Homo-oligomer: A and B are copies of this chain.
Amino acid sequence: MSPLRRADLATLDRDDPLRPFRDRFALPEGVIYLDGNSLGAMPKSAPARLREVAEIEWGQDLIRSWNKHGWIDLQQRIGSKIGRLIGARPGETIVADSTSVNLFKLLAAALQLRPGRSVILSEPANFPTDLYIAEGLAALLGGHRLELVEPEGLEATLGPDVAVVMLTHVNYRTGRMHDMNAVTQRVHEAGALMLWDLCHSAGAVPVDLTRADADFAVGCGYKYLNGGPGAPAFLHIAERWQNQVTPPLTGWLGHAAPFAFETHYRPAGGVQRAVVGTPPVLSMTALEVGVDLMLEAPMAALRAKSVRQFELFAALVEQELAAWDFRIVTPRDAIQRGSQICLSHEQGWPIMQALIQRNVIGDFRAPDILRFGFTPLYVGYAEIWDAVAILKDIMATGAWDRPEHHARAKVT
């Protein structure tokens, strides 16, 4: 097979059906942005919409906007839209709080539904906040514990003490993707409930919660949904459980009649009961812009491009970077991975800082991972070539090994 050339990738760009989406995003000139899996790029229409919400809805219509501009329905409205991206039934998904807070609510709900069972089961490589929240809940409740097993050991560990299994669909560090349907089925066979964290899945890979028969899910708005920094998160409760659980954070907007100002809590019907306090409207506004844009894109085309971008990146790592010790830690089989490629290298930190200085933006995940996300709405094929070429140059010239690249930052 002849080696890949930049022109091959430029040709793919020319023929890319998703190419028009690139112009819908504001991206800085000269930057190759491969970190949309950490913070999605800004839709160009977001600032104008934010300005409208600030100047007209907040500034002019003031408190009346809760009714007039439907602020009170934002959580349901955006939740329904996200639901369409993850194969939810209508009324199962709602926007609220952060992923962490939502995990707490849903884990507590799952434990209510499995009163004789004391274990929350997860894997050691899950995103830390998932593990921390489960630990915190178990400590708060007493008599419960978080148990961690490698995915290969999951089936053997699924005993009668497991109440709920909590996994992140696509691993943040390696990009490995679980088989959602198969895992959910095994968990159900063991009498446990299944909670999926979709932070690296929603808007990134095809997800069908209904087909998988999942019980609960959470996910964030600021990665592939392009909802803006710290965008509110979403949560999903399968219809069959909604009226059987009372989430533990019983706030007024989850009350059956919030504006009756009753003394005692009565849960709202459906997923609305998982809402707690007043939502941050400005951040919700930007989230809706991102979600609306994502809904315009056909998921099959997104996925096909993402798979191809991974394969090209991987091929170029082998073709161009063989002289250095990069190891691809993301599974090569597309069915087993999300929309990112991760390379391990013991000098991962300074190498990534050198890349960022050269305007190739990925990120570093301890202890040794260089992470590059594929967001096919706004990342082109030739950019994959250019990113690898710059990485090669950094390695060949030793440019990564400068003092400033070794300095640690507060946020990585």
Partner-B contacts on A (CB < 8 A): 26-28, 31, 33, 35, 38-39, 41-42, 46-47, 50-51, 54-55, 57-67, 71-72, 97-101, 104, 108, 124, 127-129, 131-133, 135-137, 139-141, 148, 173, 220, 222, 228-233, 246-252, 255, 258-265, 276-286, 356, 361, 363, 365-366, 409-412
Assembly CA distance A336 to B247 (angstroms): 37
Inter-subunit contact A54/B411 (CB<8 Å): no
Chain B residues whose CB sits within 8 angstroms of the CB of A140 once the complex forms:
108, 140-141, 248
In the complex, the chain B residue whose C-beta lies closest to that of A173 is B261
| Copies of this protein, total | 2
Assembly CA distance A237 to B131 (angstroms): 25
- Known contacts A35-B62, A98-B278, A260-B366; A248/B137 CB under 8 A: yes
Assembly CA distance A67 to B58 (angstroms): 30
Assembly CA distance A222 to B283 (angstroms): 14
Inter-subunit contact B264/A131 (CB<8 Å): yes
List 20 A–B pairs whose Cβ atoms lie within 8 Å, in order of A's numbering: A31-B62, A33-B62, A39-B58, A47-B59, A50-B50, A54-B228, A66-B410, A67-B409, A72-B411, A101-B277, A104-B249, A108-B140, A127-B252, A128-B252, A128-B263, A132-B255, A136-B265, A139-B248, A230-B282, A282-B283
A193 smallest CB distance to B (angstroms): 18
Q: Which 10 A-B pairs have the closest CB atoms?
A: A98-B277, A136-B250, A280-B283, A100-B251, A129-B252, A229-B281, A100-B277, A66-B411, A132-B265, A42-B59
Inter-subunit contact B64/A361 (CB<8 Å): yes
Inter-subunit contact A72/B128 (CB<8 Å): no
If A132-B252, A135-B250 are given as contacts, then 15 extra A-B residue pairs at C-beta distance below 8 Å, sorted by A number, are A39-B62, A39-B63, A72-B410, A98-B277, A101-B277, A104-B249, A124-B263, A127-B252, A140-B140, A220-B278, A228-B282, A231-B280, A232-B280, A259-B410, A261-B366
Inter-subunit contact B54/A250 (CB<8 Å): no
Inter-subunit contact A54/B46 (CB<8 Å): yes
Inter-subunit contact B65/A277 (CB<8 Å): no
CB < 8 Å neighbour of A132 from B28, B100, B251, B412: B251
Chain B residues whose CB sits within 8 angstroms of the CB of A229 once the complex forms:
57-58, 65, 71, 278, 280-282
